[in-house]
Amino acid sequence: MEKANGLLWEVSAWEFVFVTIILAGAAAFMTGRSAANVWLEKRQLVVYLVLLAAATRFIHFALFSGSLLTIYYYVIDLAVLLVIGFAGMRMTRSKQMATQYGFAFDRAGPFGWKRR
């Protein structure tokens, strides 16, 4: 397969969407949810997502003949996973604040809460 490098993907757009956004994105979202459920700090979530981005690069390498040690595509994968992971954390945290502290906070959309 001839490599067709793009700005966001290394081999093909389909491979980027399937591996990075669908597979690893779902894992990042669940990681963000679980980090929020146990009230972890954001720093710890970043550490987990850095490791997940490394695993994502390995999947690109092993299954789709991508490069393993390319910093540029690793940073792209990491940025996508950070956005998805922090979205999962923020959605869960807003639900927690409205549920566990319902006497003080109301939910304000999927990502926020407000004082009563």
- Residue 11 binned pLDDT confidence (cut-offs 50, 70, 90): confident
Whole-number mean pLDDT of the chain? 90
Instruction: Note whether residue 74 is domain-resident.
Output: yes
- pLDDT tens digit string along 62-114? 998 888 888 999 999 999 999 999 999 999 999 988 888 888 888 888 888 88
**How many domains are contained in the chain?**
1
Distance of CA 102 to CAs 27, 40, 78, 82, Å?
29, 21, 35, 29
Instruction: Note whether residue 7 is domain-resident.
Output: no
Range of the domain at 105: 13-115
Instruction: Note whether residue 2 is domain-resident.
Output: no
Residues found in the chain:
116
Instruction: Note whether residue 78 is domain-resident.
Output: yes
pLDDT the model gives residue 73:
92
pLDDT the model gives residue 81:
98
Instruction: Note whether residue 83 is domain-resident.
Output: yes
Instruction: Note whether residue 6 is domain-resident.
Output: no
